[in-house]
């Protein structure tokens, strides 16, 4: 099923987030947000990717988002041994009942039979080359390959399943692409690079954004329209092969890939920039590789475009890292998802129930800050697992946590914070960011230039730099010392 009507939740409302977009703050629909997260999980950095690139694989790496009651309860990607659907069954079991699953590729029969049997409500997938690649067989002109046989089995399972197996893409809100371009350029991560590196300009941003677009189009789209139509027919989507449906489908897919590339470009590794320990942190070693840290913060950046705050969107994602390697069946390795959120009004409230004015209003009574639930608060509230005290728990936030959230983060037992530091030590009308710098017992990894990089030139801000911070993997040093743009490609 392909939906072409724009839902009410994607319509924009008044706001002041950017100058040229003043008066319009579009939102991502939940369907498109979950779709983008599934595509992004497909490129989760892992040591297996380098080996996979050396030889063509018939089984494509697949990302998966598990949604229960419209809340994300799992982010997964296939590993070398297990498919994404199989991992979902291992991780969630009977809890998959009545859940919605969003795949970055149509699942193969081995996965589909298990997740259908678990009683899922809906299985949505990206309408391109499926998990068991048909593109290779079409290119090589083989008529009785395993992928074609699997496609027939999948259709039979689909037709006899109570679960709704479909393509579920929705058109973007008006001006969504332009809005994401402008806010990506003005986000904390890009702005900090711009202030410290004058040669990083708007043209640089768009130049390397174009590189990401090409990379993701190769990965998520089929360049040949004829081949795309043939694959759609083989996976049971004949109704989308005729115009205008096919043209509309391709356009929506291209726009979503464009958005993903733009948001990914907003957290670049340029001239040694990455997440490094703040001066007040006690640790001496980097916990995660820069690729993984960037990947998780981009998840938070995607979530921020679901905000109900007119002025600024904030996203937060919580991950944990197991001590034991016995349960590392997921493509994310020892890391597993705990929860995510974005800033919004209380669940169930009507949009007009609360004030929407920002801090430019003189009357404090009609300001919104007392009513908005912060991204970190929503991530903690709607978590899908409890924190294990002996495991390392990390939160990735698109902005510096405010004084209202800092005690919550520490009290919840989170051991590491990855965030920007643009607002550290500042008070902005009713919002204070004074407690973050003084937070003890929680390691703070902030977006800054690599303290060991030769290109830092001693221009590091003493309030946000750790002079003896170092990378976990020495190979990363070689990448960051090379003064060029690197966008966290699969390695």
As annotated, the active-site residues are 376
DSSP 72-141: EEEEEE--SSS-HHHHHHHHHGGGGTT-EEEESSPPPHHHHHHHHHTT-SEEEE-SSS-SB-SHHHHHHT
Pairing of strands 269-270, 392-397: unpaired
d(CA 275, CA 486): 14
d(CA 456, CA 378): 36
Residues near 389 by beta carbon (within 8 Å), at least 6 away in sequence? 413
375 touches 341 (CB < 8 A): yes
49 touches 490 (CB < 8 A): yes
- Between the alpha carbon of residue 61 and those of residues 113, 129, 220, 332, the distances in Å are 19, 11, 11, 12
d(CA 74, CA 65): 6
Q: What is the dihedral of CA 179, 180, 185, 186, to 10 degrees?
A: 70
- Between the alpha carbon of residue 81 and those of residues 48, 59, 84, 118, 330, the distances in Å are 11, 11, 10, 21, 9
What DSSP state is assigned to residue 15?
-
277 touches 445 (CB < 8 A): yes
Strands (E), 135-283: 164-166, 269-270, 273-277
d(CA 316, CA 302): 10
Pairing of strands 273-277, 485-486: unpaired
Q: How many CA atoms lie within 13 A of 237 on its CB side?
A: 25
Residues near 401 by beta carbon (within 8 Å), at least 6 away in sequence? 376, 409, 417, 419, 433, 436
């Amino acid at each position: 099923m392909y939906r072409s009507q724009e839902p009410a939740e994607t319509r924009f409302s008044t706001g002041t987030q950017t100058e040229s977009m003043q008066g319009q703050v579009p939102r991502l629909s939940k369907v498109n947000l979950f779709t983008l997260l599934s595509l992004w999980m497909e490129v989760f950095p892992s040591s297996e990717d380098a080996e996979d690139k050396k030889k063509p694989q018939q089984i494509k790496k697949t990302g998966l988002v598990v949604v229960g009651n419209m809340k994300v309860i799992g982010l997964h990607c296939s590993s070398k041994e297990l498919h994404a659907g199989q991992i979902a069954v291992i991780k969630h079991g009977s809890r998959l009942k009545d859940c919605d699953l969003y795949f970055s590729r149509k699942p193969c029969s081995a996965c589909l039979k298990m997740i259908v049997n678990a009683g899922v409500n809906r299985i949505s997938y990206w309408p391109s080359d499926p998990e068991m690649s048909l593109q290779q067989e079409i290119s090589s002109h083989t008529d009785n390959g395993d992928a074609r046989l699997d496609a027939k089995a999948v259709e039979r399972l689909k037709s006899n399943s109570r679960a709704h197996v479909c393509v579920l893409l929705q058109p973007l809100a008006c001006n969504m692409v332009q809005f994401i371009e402008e806010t990506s350029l003005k986000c904390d991560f890009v702005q900090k690079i711009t202030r410290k590196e004058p040669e990083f300009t708007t043209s640089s941003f768009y130049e390397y954004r174009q590189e990401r677009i090409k990379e993701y189009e190769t990965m998520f789209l089929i360049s040949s329209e004829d081949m795309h139509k043939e694959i759609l027919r083989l996976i049971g989507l004949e109704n989308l092969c005729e115009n205008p449906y096919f043209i509309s489908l391709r356009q929506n897919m291209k726009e979503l890939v464009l958005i993903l590339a733009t948001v990914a470009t907003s957290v670049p590794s340029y001239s040694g920039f990455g997440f490094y320990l703040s001066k007040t942190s006690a640790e001496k070693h980097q916990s995660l590789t820069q690729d993984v840290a960037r990947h998780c913060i981009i998840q938070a950046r995607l979530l921020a475009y679901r905000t109900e705050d007119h002025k600024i969107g904030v996203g937060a994602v919580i991950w944990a890292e197991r001590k034991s390697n016995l349960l590392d069946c997921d493509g994310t390795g020892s890391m597993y998802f705990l929860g995510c959120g974005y800033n919004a009004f209380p669940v169930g409230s009507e949009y007009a129930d609360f004030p929407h004015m920002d801090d430019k209003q003189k009357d404090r009574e009609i300001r919104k800050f007392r009513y908005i639930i912060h991204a970190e608060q929503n991530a903690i509230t709607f978590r899908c697992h409890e924190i294990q005290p002996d495991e390392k728990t990390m939160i990735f936030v698109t902005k510096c946590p405010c004084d209202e959230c800092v005690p919550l983060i520490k009290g919840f037992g989170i051991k590491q914070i990855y965030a920007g530091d643009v607002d550290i030590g500042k008070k902005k009308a009713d919002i204070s960011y004074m407690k973050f710098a003084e937070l003890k017992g929680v390691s703070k990894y902030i977006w800054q230039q690599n303290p060991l990089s030769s290109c830092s030139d001693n221009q590091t801000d003493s309030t946000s730099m750790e002079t003896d911070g170092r990378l976990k993997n020495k190979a990363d040093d070689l990448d960051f010392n090379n003064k060029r743009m690197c966008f966290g490609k699969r390695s």
